[in-house]
Each structure stands twice: as structure tokens, then as C-alpha cells.
Amino acid sequence: MAWNEPGKNGKDNDPWKQGGRDQGPPDLDEVFRNFGKKFGGIFGGSGGGSQGSSGGGSASTLLLLVAIVAALVWAFSGFYTIKESERGVILRFGQFHTEVGPGIHWKPTFIDQVRPVDLTSVRSFRTDGFMLTQDQNLVRVTFEVQYRVFDARAYLFSVVNADNSLQEATDAALRFVIGHSLMDDVLTRGREVVRQNTRQELETIITPYRMGLVLVDVNFRDARPPEEVRDAFDDAIAAQEDQERFVREAEAYAREIEPRARGQVNRIMQEAEAYRQQVILRAQGEVARFEQLLPQYLAAPRVTRERLYLETMEEVFSNTSKVMVDVSSGNNIMYLPLDQMLKGGSTSGSSSALPVTPPRNLQDSQNTAPRQDGIRGSTSRDGRR
């Protein structure tokens, strides 16, 4: 049954005991007074005391309630979360206390302070400006430095501002390296050397400060001359690039020609070696033939000489189509071997005349046969001897 059932004007079921519907809203002061009396009874107070004691009990109860709520708020406010990529640095009354890892932690509020530091993400910044080179030229250089934090405590407390200190150290290292380099090296072929030297110099500068930072990479972004002389430097850079291209083409041509030349050298060396072996073997054959001919010559010198002469003439006459025979008793006789001329054809296009001097024992062609018979007879007689 509803407390405001019609017929009774809701008087029996009115929780505020205010009568029917025509009454106004409940008195809040009385509600809180009743609530305070109940709490006063719970904590040992008396609900039936005087008006002054009733007011003091209400104030103490309210203060206690506020204290409980404040304690709960303070307790719950101490919970915090550290991300996976972070480390939490705990400061107790402003002084370093400890470090905590990722997860949910609790700290006493107003006593401890947590400062999370990201240790995994890579940070970067750029530095640029006009710098003076070793050869007294101005050049605008742009560098990019990438780094990360590896020690949270050192990052927060070793220097006032580690990021700003790193930027200033980078600027100092870059100006030092550029000041000891030539402008052509900075603009063209020496960029990698400048980058490496700048990184080494930067690490040397920041190491004593123990900033808790580690360099990931140092990139040489750009190097430009002043705008007033930029066109001239662009032409110079183009000329240097052409020079490098020509050098590379020449090296490629050299790598192509060198193996071919080495092959030709090896072939010539092999041919020379083969020719040398051929000459040696031919000489050895001549020596062997001479050694075989020497005993025959010692046994019959005249016959051997004539035989060698006839063999030589036979070899010479086989290569010519015309032969001139010198006859002492008359005019020279031309001998035309027609059979050799017909066989030779085009190969014997150029004719030659060779004067031949017969040996002393051959006076004419008619006396050749008897003399040879006499030679054979003398040879046989010498053999019998």
C-alpha cells in the first residue's frame, strides 16, 4: 500500500510526519538534527540533553564525518599507474627516494611525488645556423640528433634541463667540427666524416655530465652556402660530380680492359713458349741429324758434300717455275719445267730466275753421269780399303 493512499490524506504513512499532500517540503534543519542525534547516540552522545549539548554533539559528529571522508579521499588519491615504457622516480619531501617499474602503485599523497620518465621512445631535435669553416667561408649546416633516456634519475637531477643541455652541447660540437673542416668537404665529399666527427665530439662533451642520455643517431641533413654565392657553388658541385662520374667510368673501363689485356698477355706468353719449344726441338733435330751425318762425312767427305748439294738444289727448284743454268762453254740455258708450271697455276704467278753455280767437278750436263760413276767407283774402293 502506498504511503499517500487516498482517504487518509497520507497521514499514517508519511515518513516526514508532515501531514497530507497539502503540506510543503520537509524541514532540512530538522532532518539533519535527527541524523546528528542518531550518530551522537552511536558514538556515546545523549539524545535527550540540553540544546547546547545537542549543538556541540552535532558539530563534533560533522567534523568526524569530514575527517573520515578526507581520509578515504587521501587514501584513494595515492594510487597511480606507471606505463610499460616508463619508470617512476619517487621524491619524498622533494628528495629522491627510489624508482618504481611499470604497474599500479600507491604513494602517500602530499608526502611522496611521482615523476614518470619515458625510457623507450626516441626523441629528436634539429640544430642549424651559419658556421665558419677552416678556410674562412660561411656555410649553413642543419643537423638532426636522435637520442633516448636510459637513466631516469640522472636525466632528472644531473643537470637542470637535460634536453636543453644536449642541444647546447650539439651546437658546440658541430661548430667545433665545422671550424676544423674545409668548405668543399662540408658541402660535398666530406659529409660522412663531419657526421662521424660531430658524434664523437658530442659524446665526449656529454659523458662527464652524466645526463642519463644515449645517442641513437646523428644525421647530417643539409649544408648550404650563403644565397649570394649559391649559384657559383652549385656549379662547383656539379663539376665535382662530373669528375667523380668520369673517374667511375674510367675505373669501369679499366676493369673491363685489364682482364682482356691479361688474356692477351697470357696468350702471347704461351705462343712464345710454344715457339721456344719448337725452336729448341728443331735445333735438337738438326743436331741429331748432323750427328748422324758426321760419321758419313768423315767416311766420304766428297760424296756427302755432293749429296747435300743435290738435296738442297732439289728443294730450291721445287719452289720455282723457271731455272737458269750457267754453262761455262756457252750461253745460259733456261729450263722451263712445264709440268710444274701447269700444276702450280696461280700459286706460281711470280717467276724467278736463280743463277746456279754447279760444283767444280760438273763441267757440263754430258759429263755428269761419268763423273758420278767415277765417284761411286772411288767410294766402293774407299770402302774396300
Which cell goes with 209?
Answer: 655530465
Greatest pairwise CA separation for the chain in angstroms: 191
Cell 547546547: give the residue.
52
Q: What is the C-alpha separation between 318 and 316, in angstroms, rounded?
A: 5
Q: What is the C-alpha separation between 232 and 225, in angstroms, rounded?
A: 10
Predicted local confidence at residue 232, as pLDDT: 78
With a threshold of 0.85, does the pTM exceed it?
Answer: no
Q: Report CA-CA distances (Å) from 135 to 138, 172, 183, 240.
A: 9, 19, 7, 19
Output the 3-class SS for the chain.
CCCCCCCCCCCCCCCCCCCCCCCCCCCHHHHHHHHHHHHHHHCCCCCCCCHHHHHHHHHHHHHHHHHHHHHHHHHHCCEEEECCCEEEEEEECCEEEEEECCEEEECCCCCEEEEEEECCCCEEEEEEEEEECCCCCEEEEEEEEEEEECCHHHHHHCCCCHHHHHHHHHHHHHHHHHHCCCHHHHHCCCHHHHHHHHHHHHHHHHCCCCCCEEEEEEEEEEEECCHHHHHHHHHHHHHHHHHHHHHHHHHHHHHHHHHHHHHHHHHHHHHHHHHHHHHHHHHHHHHHHHHHHHHHHHHCHHHHHHHHHHHHHHHHHCCCCCEEECCCCCCCEEECCHHHHHHHHHHHCCCCCCEECCCCCCCCCCCHHHHHHHHHHHHHHHHHC
Question: Which of 209, 223, 51 has its CA nearest to residue 141?
Answer: 223
Which cell goes with 273?
Answer: 713458349
Predicted local confidence at residue 56, as pLDDT: 59
Predicted local confidence at residue 295, as pLDDT: 86
pLDDT in tens, the chain (385 residues): 454 555 555 445 555 555 444 455 556 567 666 666 665 554 454 444 445 455 556 778 888 888 899 889 988 988 999 998 899 999 999 889 899 989 999 999 889 899 999 999 999 999 988 888 988 888 889 999 999 999 999 999 989 899 999 999 999 999 999 999 988 888 877 889 999 999 999 999 999 999 999 999 999 888 888 777 778 777 877 887 888 899 999 999 999 998 899 999 999 999 999 999 999 999 999 899 888 888 888 888 888 888 888 888 888 877 776 666 666 666 656 556 666 666 665 554 444 444 444 444 433 433 433 343 333 333 333 433 3
Cell 731455272: give the residue.
323
Q: What is the C-alpha separation between 88 and 119, in angstroms, rounded?
A: 10
292-305: string of b/e by CB count within 10 Å (b at 16+)? eeeeeeeebeebbe
Q: What is the C-alpha separation between 33 and 191, in angstroms, rounded?
A: 84
Q: What is the C-alpha separation between 115 and 117, in angstroms, rounded?
A: 7
Name the phi and psi angles at 99, rounded to 5: -120, 145
Predicted local confidence at residue 351, as pLDDT: 43
361-379: string of b/e by CB count within 10 Å (b at 16+)? eeeeeeeeeeeeeebeeee
Q: What count of other Cβ atoms lies within 10 Å of the Cβ of residue 140?
A: 14
What one-letter code names the amino acid at 323? V
Predicted local confidence at residue 272, as pLDDT: 94
Predicted local confidence at residue 125, as pLDDT: 93
Predicted local confidence at residue 187, as pLDDT: 80
